Amino acid sequence: MKCRMMKESFNIEKAIRLVSSPKTGGIVIFLGKVRNESHGRNVRMLIYEAYEEMAVAEMERIRKEALEKFPIEDMVIWHRYGELRVGEDTILVVASGKHRKEAFEACKWAVDEVKRRVPVWKKEVTDEGTFWIEGERHIKAE
Amino acid sequence: MKCRMMKESFNIEKAIRLVSSPKTGGIVIFLGKVRNESHGRNVRMLIYEAYEEMAVAEMERIRKEALEKFPIEDMVIWHRYGELRVGEDTILVVASGKHRKEAFEACKWAVDEVKRRVPVWKKEVTDEGTFWIEGERHIKAE
Amino acid sequence: MRIRVRYFARFRSLVGTGEEELDVPEGITVGALLNILKERHPELKSEVFAQNEDADVNVSKNGRYVSFDEPLSEGDIVALFPPVSGG
Amino acid sequence: MRIRVRYFARFRSLVGTGEEELDVPEGITVGALLNILKERHPELKSEVFAQNEDADVNVSKNGRYVSFDEPLSEGDIVALFPPVSGG
């Protein structure tokens, strides 16, 4: 499955195999992680909520658009949800191409699109309370 | 070891651990592979020769320059040598950062620098004979 | 006609439910539905429901983003949610 | 003084060895050494030893790229190799 929402951690080697063929010369991977700091607050954990069916459909649309827009060979887009601790993986985008240029461009573009379009929301559990992240805004959650 | 010339295949999970800290928000990875075609020729195998001591030293210089040039956290540069078949990994560059932008830029920059500076040479074994690759030139080998 | 409305993330907390069914006039648009929902859930009134950069609502129909002038049909699933923050 | 010269890739095949030791005048530059090596190994004569985009030689001293006016010292290791093609 090349586009997935999942609770379990990523098997990156498996994602690489999914996009590799004998024609592949370069693979670019973006791996997002939960970091311990956000806007000056000490982060303990992220809770990702998703509109799962739509999220998968939107990732599939992004993958399809990437394959049309860039001369790449293949792409994997995986996103995790649920409770994720500092250091855990959150998102994985893998783009394979004959050459590296297009793989870099497609990977970067797809990560941006996922962050802009895929219905997933982050709640940051910090030392100063819990905040919903909505685009650039942070809103205190009860 | 963050800069290495090696015969064995890459352990990508290990490379990721080497650059990860609780501050890490994004990791960008470039993985090069032997592909089955080069300038219209059907490639059977690549033979990489290296000036090993200098190659490692040059990779260390590239890593140090990347850490100065980009606000990234860490970088791994590994390169394989010896006989590599179609589909096998050749080069791995991993850049970690708080944010993805700098990780993408640093990874791309470092791959370009490795290809320009690190003393490693590729001999392509194709259906039409064996060729030394020197920058953009292909020279038939005996 | 009958449609389903789903709420996600902070909107789900605000409204107090993740899903409800509603009877709405035949051929109603997404924009008109939003007005009905604001009446039904006063806690949504302070949210900026607009189609511009300042908007803090996204609307999808059957799993696809739609604009406010999108007409609805029997059985459609409409979802309301804040700007996304995946990745 | 005595120095070591190493050859890599196609240059190693051309010269027929990967390494040799040479007695050279005290304080000789890399450029002067290259002329000596061209005399010693006529098979290198058709190679363009220059410091520009068309050059097909790289020179390192003790594992670092150097220019043709770099002076050499006793025990230095000079390597000659074609444009690289890693990655």
pLDDT tens per residue, range C14-48: 999 999 999 999 999 999 999 999 999 999 888 87
Residue C42, domain member (yes or no): yes
At residue C52 the predicted structure's pLDDT band, cuts being 50, 70 and 90, is: low
The domain that holds C43 is classified in CATH as 3.10.20.30
Q: What angle, rounded to 10 degrees, do the helices at A12-19 and B12-19 form?
A: 120
Q: Is A2 exposed, middle or buried (0-12, 13-18, 19+ CB in 10 A)?
A: middle
Residue A95 CB partners (closer than 8 Å, separation 6+): A19, A27, A28, A29, A66, A70, A72, A74, A75, A102, A103, A104, A106, A107, A110
Question: pLDDT value at position C45?
Answer: 84
Q: What number is the average pLDDT over the span C72-80?
A: 97
How far apart are alpha carbons A28 and B33 in whole angstroms?
Answer: 11
Disruptive mutation site among A48, A54, A60, A89 for chain C (greatest number of C CBs within 10 Å): A54
Residue D62, domain member (yes or no): yes
Residue C55, domain member (yes or no): yes
Residue D36, domain member (yes or no): yes
Q: Phi-psi category of B135—alpha, beta or left, where left has phi over 0 and alpha has psi -120 to 50?
A: left
Question: pLDDT value at position B118?
Answer: 97
Residue D86, domain member (yes or no): no
Q: Do the Cβ atoms of D11 and D83 come closer than 8 Å?
A: no
Residue D27, domain member (yes or no): yes
Q: By residue range, what is the domain housing residue C29? A: 2-81
Residue C87, domain member (yes or no): no
How far apart are alpha carbons B94 and B106 in whole angstroms?
Answer: 9
Of A25, A29, A37, the CB nearest to B29: A29
Question: pLDDT value at position D57?
Answer: 83
Number of domains composing chain D = 1
Residue C71, domain member (yes or no): yes
Strand B120-126 with B129-134, pairing: antiparallel
Q: What number is the average pLDDT over the span A27-36?
A: 97
Q: Is A51 exposed, middle or buried (0-12, 13-18, 19+ CB in 10 A)?
A: buried
Question: pLDDT value at position D53?
Answer: 61
Tell me if chain B has a CB within 8 Å of the CB of A25. Answer: yes
Q: What number is the average pLDDT over the span A4-15?
A: 98
Half-sphere exposure of B74 (CA within 13 A, CB side): 15
Task: Give the residue from D81, D84, D85 showing the smallest Cα distance to D49.
Answer: D81
Of D60, D63, D85, the CB nearest to B134: D85
Angstroms from B22 CA to nearest CA on chain D: 30
At residue A13 the predicted structure's pLDDT band, cuts being 50, 70 and 90, is: very high
At residue D46 the predicted structure's pLDDT band, cuts being 50, 70 and 90, is: confident
Residue A77 pairs with which residues in a beta bridge? A3, A93
Tell me if chain B has a CB within 8 Å of the CB of A40. Answer: no
**Cβ atoms within 10 Å, residue A1:** 9
Residue A4 pairs with which residues in a beta bridge? A78
Chain B positions in Cβ-Cβ contact with residue A26 (cut-off 8 Å): 30-33
Half-sphere exposure of A94 (CA within 13 A, CB side): 25
Q: What is the pLDDT along chain B (142 residues), one digit of tens a residue?
A: 999 999 999 999 999 999 999 999 999 999 999 999 998 999 999 999 999 999 999 999 999 999 999 999 999 999 999 999 999 999 999 999 999 999 999 999 999 999 999 999 999 999 999 999 998 889 999 7
